Amino acid sequence: MKIQSVVNEVSVEFHDELNPALWDGTEIKLDVQVKLLEIAKKFVEFLNVPDLKLVDIYFMGSNAAYVYTSFSDIDLHLIVDD
């Protein structure tokens, strides 16, 4: 497969609804929310930074918007106070 055809396949798809695998209308599904929080917690533990002050967790990217594709991943941003 040529690079250009991959780029064309994964670029952007516009939808009228959020990804139904993750969202129930405009509310994130509870089981997805629980898993994302578990992932964030495990990552904080992995970092092993003493006195890390986690302020917030942002769910971003195409799966948090109306432009997801079958190749979209999940972007979690952990916000800390340094």
Three-state secondary structure call for residue 34? helix
Average pLDDT over residues 49-55: 95
Number of residues written out for the chain:
82
Q: Which residue has the higher pLDDT, 20 or 8?
A: 20
Q: Which residue has the higher pLDDT, 18 or 11?
A: 18
Q: Which residue has the higher pLDDT, 12 or 32?
A: 32
What is the rounded CA–CA span in Å between residue 10 and residue 67? 10
pTM above 0.85, yes or no: no
- What integer pLDDT is reported at residue 23 of this predicted model? 98
Count CB neighbours of 13 within 10 A: 14
What is the rounded CA–CA span in Å between residue 34 and residue 56? 15
CB 72 within 8 A of CB 19: yes
